[in-house]
Amino acid sequence: MPARYILNKRLTLAFLAAGVVLVAQTSRYGPSRIWWDAGQTDSLGWDSDFDNPSGQVRISNKNGAVKTEGHPFFAALGTNGRACVTCHQPANAMSVSAEVLRQRWLETEGKDPVFAMVDGANCPDQPPAQRASHSLLLDRGLFRIALPWPPPNVKPDFEIEVVRDPAGCNLSPKFGLAAAHQISVYRRPRMAANLAKLTEGPKGAVLMADGREPSLRSQAITAAFVHEESPRHLTVEELDRILDFETQVYAAQNSDMRGGLVENSGLGVEPLMNGPAPSLFAGLDLGKWKGIHETDLQREFRASAARGSKLFASRAFRMDDVSEMTCATCHQPGTKRLLDIGTARHPQPADSPLPLFRLKHGATVVYSEDPGRALITGRFADAGVFAMPQFRALAARAPYFTNGAAASLRAVVDYYDRTYEIGLSEAEKRDLTNFLSVL
C-alpha cells in the first residue's frame, strides 16, 4: 500500500477516535490557500484536500506530486497573465466557483487576470474596472465564448438573429454578430480532472459544452490562444506536459461535514483513479460507509445519501418523446452523450441576464439563450444540445448547468423534478441532493 494511503488511514483513525465530525477543518489547504496564481511556485501534493461548503474535495495526482514552477499548466503562457490553473482551480475541483470569483474580485479590486476582458467581461468593449462589466462571471461564473458565425466550412440549415442582448456583446458595433460575424454565449468552465476516464474508449472525447474540440491537445492549443491570449504556438513539450497533468489528476468529494469521510462508501477519488470508472448505477455501499465512532448525524446523513443514490439510479422519467430514463442513464463516468435538457430554451425569467436568439428553420422557429452545438454543426436539430458534464466533486464548483442558472444542488434537483414531472417528495429531493453532494 502506498505511503500516502497509510498516512491518510492513520489520520482518519485519529480524527474518528477523537470524535471529530467536521473533518473539513483537517485540511492542509484551508481558506488561505483557496486561490492559485499563475506562476505560483509551489507543489500540488499527491493527495490534497480543499475546503468547500459541504466538506472537502480531494485532488489526487496519480503519478505523484506536481511541482508548479515552470509547469505550463500553472505558468502564464500568454499576454494577459492567466495560466490554465486560473480557470481550473484545485479548490474548485479543477474548475472555478462563482463564490471564489467574487472573493477574488474584492481581494484584487478586479485586477486578477481571471477578469481579463477577452472573456472575463460580458464584452471586451465595456469599462474594465466596473463590476457590471463582469456581472455574468461574478454572478454565475460564466465566461464569454465567442464563436464564428457561420461556422468555418459549414453551410447552416437555419437563420439566427439576436432578439435580446442584456450583456451587450451580440449587438456590439465591434464584437457583435453583424460587425464581427461572431456569436457570444456564456458558459461555465468544465473540470480539468478525471479526463483520462472521460477520453478513454474508441470514440475518444466529447470536450467542451458543445463538443467542439476533438482532443485534449486541440483544446489546450485553443485555450492558450484564446483564453490566455498567447502570441505564439505552444511547444510540443509544453503540450505534452499539460496533457500529462490533465490525464493523471483526479477530483472527487472526500468528506462531508455531516457524513464524515467518503472513502469507504465506494465513491471518493481512489476507486475513480485506480480502476474502471465506478458505475453510478451501483449506488453507495452503506455497509462499508461506517466509522469507528459513528455519530447519529453521520448515520442519518449516510442513510439519506444512500437512498438518494438509489433514486439516481432507479427513478424513471421521460424526456420529451424518448423512452424512460433515469439520472444515471446520462450521468455515468466517461459519458459522451449530447442532449438538450431545456436549460437554454425560451421562455426564461424576464430578468435573465443572458442573450436571446431566434433560430428559424423553414417555417419552424425556436428561441434560445444558447444554441449550443448548433453553433458548431450549423444544424437546427442541434439547437440547445450540450455535452453532459461530469458528476464529480459537485459541492466544490457551484453554480450548475452550462449557464450557471442553478445556484445549488437542490436547485438542480428542483429543476429536473419540475421540468420532467418526476414527482419527487420533499424527502426524496433531500436524499438526492445529499447523494449529489458526496460525489
Q: What is the pLDDT of residue 23?
A: 33
What's phi and psi for 393, nearest 5 deg?
55, 40
Contact yes or no for 401/412 (Cβ under 8 A):
yes
The residue with greater pLDDT, 12 or 413, is 413
* Residue 131 DSSP label: G
The residue with greater pLDDT, 11 or 78, is 78
Domain map (residue ranges) of the chain: 3-151+183-279
Binned at pLDDT 50, 70 and 90, residue 33 comes out as low
* Residue 372 DSSP label: B
Look over the chain and give the mean of its residue pLDDT values, rounded to a whole number.
Answer: 89
Average pLDDT over residues 114-143: 98
The residue with greater pLDDT, 34 or 280, is 34
The owner of cell 453553433 is: 375
Dihedral of alpha carbons 113, 118, 120, 122, sign: positive
Q: What is the pTM of this model?
A: 0.91
Task: Give the contacts of 386 (CB within 8 A, at least 6 positions apart).
Answer: 209, 210, 338, 339, 340, 341, 344, 372, 373, 402
Q: What is the pLDDT of residue 188?
A: 98
* Residue 90 DSSP label: G
In whole angstroms, what is the distance from residue 400 CA to residue 411 CA? 9
313 has a pLDDT exceeding 70: yes
Contact yes or no for 151/377 (Cβ under 8 A):
yes
What's phi and psi for 166, nearest 5 deg?
-60, -35
pLDDT in tens, 79-99: 999 999 999 999 999 999 999
287 has a pLDDT exceeding 50: yes
Q: What is the pLDDT of residue 281?
A: 58
pLDDT in tens, 153-174: 999 999 999 999 999 999 999 9
In whole angstroms, what is the distance from residue 62 CA to residue 85 CA? 18
Binned at pLDDT 50, 70 and 90, residue 306 comes out as very high
Q: What is the pLDDT of residue 275?
A: 73
In whole angstroms, what is the distance from residue 113 CA to residue 120 CA? 9
Q: What is the CA radius of gyration of the chain?
A: 22
Least confident interval from 81-90, 107-116, 343-352: 343-352
The residue with greater pLDDT, 253 or 9, is 253
DSSP β-bridge partners for residue 160: 359
Contact yes or no for 422/235 (Cβ under 8 A):
no
Average pLDDT over residues 214-221: 95
Average pLDDT over residues 29-48: 81
Average pLDDT over residues 301-326: 89
Contact yes or no for 141/188 (Cβ under 8 A):
yes
Least confident interval from 3-17, 106-120, 122-136: 3-17
3-state secondary structure of 20: coil
Q: What is the pLDDT of residue 184?
A: 98
The residue with greater pLDDT, 352 or 277, is 352
Binned at pLDDT 50, 70 and 90, residue 5 comes out as very low
Average pLDDT over residues 195-207: 71
Q: What is the pLDDT of residue 177?
A: 97
DSSP β-bridge partners for residue 48: 59
Q: What is the pLDDT of residue 296?
A: 93
Whether omega for the bond prior to residue 333 falls within 30 degrees of 0, making it cis, is no
pLDDT in tens, 391-430: 899 999 999 999 999 999 999 999 999 999 999 999 999 9
Please report how many Cα atoms fall inside a 13 Å half-sphere around the Cα of residue 384, on the Cβ side: 16
H helix or E strand, kind and range, residue 3: helix 3-17
